[in-house]
Structure 1
Amino acid sequence: MIEVNIVGTGNVAWHLAKALGAQNRAVVMQVAGRTEASLEPFKNMARHTVSIEELTPSDVTIIAVSDDVIAEVSSQIPFDNTLVVHTSGYTAMSTLSRKHNKGVFYPLQSFSKDDTSINFSEIPILVEADNDEDEKTLRELGAMISNTVQVINSTQRRQLHLAAVFANNFTNHCYTIAQDICEQYEVDVKTLHPLILKTAQKALENGPKNSQTGPAKRGDKAVINNQLDLLENPDHKDIYNALTKAIHTTYGKKL
């Protein structure tokens, strides 16, 4: 049995608490958050506290907070020489306080607290630790909830996180722009749903570079200029131009 503390009450903390709490080989002992209100969703999962100083030692303490406060929160953990990990894709393991055995437990996924479709068994968990024993503990903990657990270092994890920003965050923002355009011209955005699904499917099956289509790849200057005229938002024009140029550079079409 692996005993776990969770520090944080955001999306990652919530889904980790749910996933780990459903296992019979792990137990969530305590959850620490800033306010009683933020801890309310966790009240039936574990003991909870608004004071990190009230945490008691566990096998693994998981810090699931924003990157810019990981170091500060780590320094406030009231016990030494136990395994403390963070869940960040970008932040180096060395950011954690020296008084702890340091590690990383990073689920590579985009989380929303109200997303009930999350299946942790399909989410890669990337782990890192200071020593073999702690690495083994994190691999065991990860294997309880995921079919894919990989050991990678902070540099590799940061590189994967960068790739994930393009694959997820930037792509999702393009979906937002597409929705804005549909709303502006009063056309049904749901008409795009089959296209969105097919684009992802083709990228996975054939590779994204082999699946690229569209006016930028074809070098269709007339269509590109007409579409730029349709865009009224200057930011959207900038994004369109930047992506068009990037596709042009990749495929070598003359514009």
Structure 2
Amino acid sequence: MIKISIIGSGNVAEHLIKAFAKSEKAEIVQVFSRKKESLTHLIDSDKIVTDFSVLKEADLYIISISDNAISEVSGRLPFQNKLVVHTSGTTSVKALDSKNRKGVFYPLQTFSKAKTLDFSVIPICLEAENEADYNTLETVAKSISNVVFPISSEQRKALHVSAVFVNNFTNHLYQIGQKICKEHNVPFEILKPLIFETAEKIKTLTPVEAQTGPAKRNDSATIQAHLNYLTDENQKNIYKLLTQSIQNNGKTL
């Protein structure tokens, strides 16, 4: 069994604790949290510590905290030459303190504490400074997921920006759609089959092939009718920007 310590108690840390509880090749020996009570519903309180100085020996230390704190926290770890990784999508592996061997263990997914996830289908992106450490990370990753990739820090930046477009921005558009529906007393649930089908298409079509709508068709009458209908200037600007982007994309094909 590969022994793991997790540093952090946020959304990603909680889901990792749940996933490793089912692993047959890796086990959590300790978790560091500033507030011990925040994790007692997931793991024995004896395994939760609030002081770095009492961290036990482990094969892998996973730092799962806010990006801004990674460098400072890695510098406070009271040991040397251990394998220490972070779970950030944007932070370089170089942000980790050099007294330990460095790597990245990045699960690419949107995490909410209240939403249960099947970790076996979540892609885990790995980076390490040497082959032996990469092999350790790969073994750990494959013990909880069937989708594992070697990804460099530079590639991870591109991946994270892409994820913001396909996830965070898309979800914001759902919010706008819901707001428009609510203002006009239309159930948002009516749109859900459309949302699900659009996502389902990506399994068999490229995003370019799946694109539909008035911007794709250059349906200027419908576009103008939509703009005339919208009263919120922010919504109008977003509509115009995305319409222009879709039309410009069509010109470059």
TM-score normalised according to structure 2 size: 0.95
Distance 1:41 1:248 in 2: 51
Could you tell which deviates more after superposition, 238-247 or 48-57?
A: 48-57
SS at the partner of 1:85?
Answer: strand
2:2 aligns to what? 2
Give the CA deviation at 1:44: 2.8
- For 1:102, give the aligned amino acid: K
Measured against aligned partners, the alpha-carbon deviations of 1:196-251 in whole angstroms (never above 9, x if no partner) come to 11111112211110111111111122222221233233222221111111001011
Residues 105, 125 of structure 1: 8 Å contact kept: yes
Structure 1: stretches of 5+ with no match in the other structure: none
1:103 matched to 2:114? no
- 233-242 or 134-143: bigger deviation: 233-242
Q: Give unmatched runs, 5+ long, in structure 2.
A: none
Equivalence for 2:247: 248
- Size of the aligned set, in residue pairs, is 252
Residue 46 of structure 1, CA deviation: 6.2
Structure 1: how far apart are the matches of 2:98 and 2:251?
A: 50
Matched, 1:196 2:173: no
Which residue number corresponds to residue 83 of structure 2?
83
8 Å CA contact 1:57, 1:82 repeated in 2: no
The Cα shift of 1:47 comes to 0.6
RMSD: 1.6
Match of 1:134 in 2: 133
* Letter matched to residue 177 of structure 2: A
The answer to whether the Cα contact below 8 Å between 1:85 and 1:102 also exists between their aligned partners in 2 is yes
**Percentage of matched positions with identical amino acids:** 46
| Number of the residue aligned with 1:213 | 212
Give 1:1-255 correspondences, 5 Å limit. 1-44=1-44, 47-116=47-116, 118-252=117-251
> Normalising by the residue count of structure 1, what TM-score does the alignment of the two structures yield?
0.94
Q: Which runs of 4+ in 1 moved over 4 A?
A: none
Return the alpha-carbon distance in structure 2 between the equivalents of residues 44 and 230 of structure 1: 56
Q: Deviations over 1:95-131 (max 9, x none)?
A: 1001110000011111111112x11111111111111
TM-superposed CA distance for 1:45, in Å, is: 7.4
> Partner amino acid for 1:229?
N
